[in-house]
Structure 1
Amino acid sequence: MSDLYIDPKKYTNKTSFPDPKTIKVYDTTLRDGEQTPGVAYSPEQKYEVTKMLSDTGVHIIDIGFPFVAPSERQALQKIIAGKRNGEIRKDLEILVMCRANKNDVDATLKTLEKVGAEPSEITFLTFTSASDLHIKVKLGPTLLKREGETRFIEDVQWYREANCKMMEEICSYIKSHGVKKIELGTEDASRSDISYLKELIDRSVSKGANRYIFPDTTGSLTPESTRYYARELRKAFPKLAMVSHFH
C-alpha cells in the first residue's frame, strides 16, 4: 500500500503558514453569489445573510453595488442600521463596490448621507482591469472616451497609461470625501504582465488605495503561477494588505 499512497506532507513539508490570527475571511456571497443564475436577494434577505455571516465570525463582507439599483442602496442602509443596533457585529467590515467613475462613488456617498453615516464607516472597492486583453478590448472604449479619442489606438502602452491615470483619479476622488479604506481590484490580474500590475498598484496606492485584491477572474491560475504572482507582489509591496479572490 505504501507504493500506492503518497503522504501529502511530502508536498508541503517546506511550506510555512502565517499565524492564523493574521488571516481574515472575506465573504462575497451578497455580490458574487448573486451572479448565480436565478439568485436575486432582496434588501431584507441581504440583511439576514449579513447577520448570519456576522455570527459566524467573518471579518469582511462585500454587500454589493449601490449604484446599480435602489434595492442595493436599501440593503446598505439596513446593514449600517444593524451595526448600530447591535444585531451585526461592530467590528464587521462592510465593503461596497464602485466602478472607477464618480457616479458610482457619489451614489454610495448619498446613500450613506441619508442615514447619517460617515464615508469612513465602510470600505470602497474600486476596480479596473489589469491584463492587456481586458484593458484594450473590454475597457478600451471607456478609456478612449475618457481621453477624448475618436479613433481606435493600436498601442497597448497607451491603454496601460490611460488605465493608470483613471485609477489615480478615482482613488484621489474617493479619498477626498473622507473614505479611510480604499481597496483596489484588478480584473484578470492572473493573466496580466507582472511589471505593469505592480505599476498599476503602486500608482493607485500613491493616491489613497490601502488594500489590494488579486482576482483570478478566468480561473486560469495553477499552483505554480499562484506562487509566482504571490511572491512577486509581496516582495514589491511588503506592507500592503492583500486579498486573494480565486475562481
Structure 2
Amino acid sequence: MRRVEIFDTTLRDGEQSAGVNLHLHEKLEIAYALEQYGVDIMEAGFPASSPAEFQAVKRIAKEIRNVSVAGLARSVEKDIDQAWEALKEASNPRIHIFIATSPIHMEYKLRMKPEEVVENAVRSVRYASRFFSNIEWSAEDATRSEWDFLAKIITQVIDAGATVINIPDTVGYTQPQEYVGLIQYLKEHVPNLYRVKLSAHCHDDLGLAVANTLAAIQSGVDQIEGTINGIGERAGNASLEEIGVALKVRQDHYQVETGLRIDQTIRISKLVSKLTGMPVPPNKAVVGANAFAHESGIHQDGVLKNTLTYEIISPEMVGLSSNKLVLGKHSGSHAFREKLTELGLKLKEEDILRLFSAFKELTGKKKEITDDDILALVVENANPGQKYEFNFLQVSYGSNMIPTTTIGMTTPLGEFKQESATGKGSVESIFNAIAKLVDEKIELLDYRIQSTTGGEDSLAEVYVKAKIGSMTTSGRGVDNDVLYASAKAFADAVNRAYMKRKIDEENSETVQDKGVIAH
C-alpha cells in the first residue's frame, strides 16, 4: 500500500493565526506531541523572522530526533544561512524555500519579472544545497499561477537540487478537480518530476482544504501538509487530524497509509487548542465536542442498538473512551433508561415514567441534562424520608455582629436534627451549619449566583460545586430569597451525593469513603 508522508506546520503556519504567540516551552511541548503523533516532518518555524523564532527552531531541532525538522526561508541567502544555523543539529534537517509564482504576486508583491523569479529560485536552491541535502521548494500561490510557467520553474529548481516540490493553494482558491488537473499537468510537463517528492499544501478560505488535500492524494502526491485543528492564517490550513482519520476510515477508497498514530488525535488536538488559546468548535469533524455526541432520540436508539448505525468513526480510534449520549429535548425514553442504568439507578416502572416526564419538563428549561441533573430529579421526586428536607432556616446578620445560622432538617432516616454555625458571611454560616448537620467533611469548590429574570420580583438562582468525602457533586437552588436559595443549593448537593452513595451501596460497589450518611 502506498505511503503518504505527513508534513506538519502547526508550529509555523499554525502559529501565524491571528492572536497566537507560542513561547519556547509551549512550542517544545507541541513538538514532542507531534513526534508522538507520528508526523514525518515538522516545520518548527521561520528562523530568520526573529531571534526568538531562531532559538525556538534551534532548540526543537536539537531535541526532536525521530522526526525531520524543517525551517522556512525566503529565496534570499540570509534566510538560508539562518535556517542552517538553526537546523544543523537536527537528525534530518530540511529547509523549506518559497517564492511566489502567480502573476499577481510577481507583479505587485515581488515586483519581479517571471524570468527574474526563475533565476532567483534556482540560485536560492543551489545555495541551499551547499548545506542541506533535504530541500523543499514551494511555489507560493501555485494554484493561481500559469501552468506552463509553473512547469518551467519546477523543472529548473529540481535540476538545481530541490528534493521536494510543494504545490500550495496559498489562498484557498482552487477546487478539487482543478487541483487534480494541475497535478496531472505537472506530471506530464515536468520531465524530471520523478526525481522528487510532490507535496500538497492547502488553505481553507473556501472550506475546501481537506477536500483538496484528499484529491491531491488520489492524484498521487507523496506528501501532504497541514496543521492540528486546521489552525493557520485567515481561515486556516487543512486539518491533519481530519485527513488522517479519513484515510484510515476510507482506506478501501484511498489505498494509502500514513505513520500517524490515530489514537493520539484527541490528545494532541486538546494540547494545541490549550496552548494556542484557539477553542475547537463543538461541531468540528473528528475532534469537536459533538463529533461523537448524539441527542436525537432516533439516533440514540440506533446507536444503542448498533453504533455503526450513526458512527463511521469509533471513539476509541481517536483516543476517546466512548461516545456521548447527550440528554436533551430530542432524547427518547431508550436513552433516558440507558442513562438511569449507567448511573446504577434501579427504579420501578412507574418511577421511571414519572422521572421521564420530569426530565422532559426540565429539557424545556435546560439545553443539556447532566448526570447531576438526573440525580437531582431522582432526589426531587423521592418520597419523604429518602432525603434531607428543610424544616426551618434562620439567619442572623448585622453590621456589628457575627453572621449566625440555625437550621433544622429531617434526615433520610426520618430523624429531626438542628445545628447552628457562624461564618465570615451569611452564606458561609449556612454552609457551615449544613456541614455540621450532616456530619461530613465538605469542601466548597464553586459558588455562583444569578437572577433568573429582571426586575424586583426576580428569583435568585444559586449554583454550588462541592467535594463531599471523595465525591465531587453540584447543587442548585432557586428562591426569591438569596440566602434560602443558597441553603437549597447546598442541601441539593448533599442530597445528590447521598443518593449516589446509596445507589453505589445497593449495587455492592466498593465504597472507599463513608460519604454522606444519615444520622
TM range (shorter): 0.7 to 0.9
Query: Which residue in 2 is equivalent to 1:132?
Result: 103
Q: Secondary structure at 1:179's aligned position in 2?
A: coil
- In the alignment, the residues of structure 1 paired with residue 137 and residue 62 of structure 2 have an alpha-carbon distance, to the nearest angstrom, of 26
- In the alignment, the residues of structure 2 paired with residue 183 and residue 45 of structure 1 have an alpha-carbon distance, to the nearest angstrom, of 26
Superimposed CA distance per residue, residues 112-162 of structure 1 (whole angstroms, 9 cap, x where no aligned partner):
56xxx27x831011110111111111111xx4xxxxxxxxxxxxxxx1110
Alignment of 1:1-247 (within 5 A): 19-20=1-2, 22-83=3-64, 90-112=65-87, 117=89, 121-140=92-111, 143=112, 159-176=113-130, 178-235=131-188, 236=190, 237-247=193-203
Q: Secondary structure at 1:202's aligned position in 2?
A: helix
Query: Which residue in 2 is equivalent to 1:149?
Result: none
Asked which structure has the greater RCO (Cα within 8 Å, sep 6+), the reply is 1
Determine if contact 2:70/2:87 at 8 Å carries over to the other structure: no
Give the CA deviation at 1:110: 3.1
Query: Which residue in 2 is equivalent to 1:6?
Result: none
Distance 1:58 1:110, change over 3 A: closer
- In the alignment, the residues of structure 2 paired with residue 26 and residue 124 of structure 1 have an alpha-carbon distance, to the nearest angstrom, of 13
- In the alignment, the residues of structure 2 paired with residue 112 and residue 50 of structure 1 have an alpha-carbon distance, to the nearest angstrom, of 14
Superimposed CA distance per residue, residues 31-74 of structure 1 (whole angstroms, 9 cap, x where no aligned partner):
11111111011111111101001101111111110001111111
- Aligned identity (percent) is 28
- In the alignment, the residues of structure 2 paired with residue 24 and residue 112 of structure 1 have an alpha-carbon distance, to the nearest angstrom, of 20
Superimposed CA distance per residue, residues 83-114 of structure 1 (whole angstroms, 9 cap, x where no aligned partner):
3xxxxxx331111000000111122233356x
- In the alignment, the residues of structure 1 paired with residue 13 and residue 61 of structure 2 have an alpha-carbon distance, to the nearest angstrom, of 20
Determine if contact 2:98/2:140 at 8 Å carries over to the other structure: yes
- In the alignment, the residues of structure 1 paired with residue 160 and residue 56 of structure 2 have an alpha-carbon distance, to the nearest angstrom, of 29
Determine if contact 2:67/2:92 at 8 Å carries over to the other structure: no
Give the CA deviation at 1:234: 2.5
Query: Which residue in 2 is equivalent to 1:153?
Result: none
Q: Secondary structure at 2:171's aligned position in 1?
A: coil
- In the alignment, the residues of structure 2 paired with residue 62 and residue 27 of structure 1 have an alpha-carbon distance, to the nearest angstrom, of 6
- In the alignment, the residues of structure 2 paired with residue 197 and residue 112 of structure 1 have an alpha-carbon distance, to the nearest angstrom, of 29
- In the alignment, the residues of structure 1 paired with residue 6 and residue 92 of structure 2 have an alpha-carbon distance, to the nearest angstrom, of 19
- In the alignment, the residues of structure 2 paired with residue 110 and residue 77 of structure 1 have an alpha-carbon distance, to the nearest angstrom, of 8
Query: Which residue in 1 is equivalent to 2:239?
Result: none
- In the alignment, the residues of structure 1 paired with residue 48 and residue 168 of structure 2 have an alpha-carbon distance, to the nearest angstrom, of 22
TM-score computed with the length of structure 1 as normaliser:
0.77
Q: Secondary structure at 2:170's aligned position in 1?
A: coil
Q: Please, which runs of 5 or more residues in structure 2 have no aligned partner?
A: 204-519
Determine if contact 2:87/2:93 at 8 Å carries over to the other structure: no
- In the alignment, the residues of structure 1 paired with residue 86 and residue 136 of structure 2 have an alpha-carbon distance, to the nearest angstrom, of 19
- In the alignment, the residues of structure 2 paired with residue 25 and residue 74 of structure 1 have an alpha-carbon distance, to the nearest angstrom, of 24
The structure with more radius of gyration = 2
Give the CA deviation at 1:77: 2.1
Distance 1:239 1:205, change over 3 A: closer
Give the CA deviation at 1:187: 1.0
Give the CA deviation at 1:75: 1.2
Give the CA deviation at 1:240: 2.1
Q: Which has the higher strand share?
A: 2
Distance 1:232 1:91, change over 3 A: farther
Determine if contact 2:162/2:196 at 8 Å carries over to the other structure: no
The residue type equivalent to 2:181 in the other structure is Y
The residue type equivalent to 1:111 in the other structure is A
- In the alignment, the residues of structure 2 paired with residue 210 and residue 111 of structure 1 have an alpha-carbon distance, to the nearest angstrom, of 20
The number of residue pairs the alignment matches comes to 200
- In the alignment, the residues of structure 2 paired with residue 63 and residue 111 of structure 1 have an alpha-carbon distance, to the nearest angstrom, of 10
Q: Secondary structure at 1:80's aligned position in 2?
A: helix
The residue type equivalent to 2:100 in the other structure is S
TM-score computed with the length of structure 2 as normaliser:
0.37
Please tell me the root mean square deviation across aligned C-alpha atoms, in Å.
1.6
- In the alignment, the residues of structure 2 paired with residue 188 and residue 111 of structure 1 have an alpha-carbon distance, to the nearest angstrom, of 27
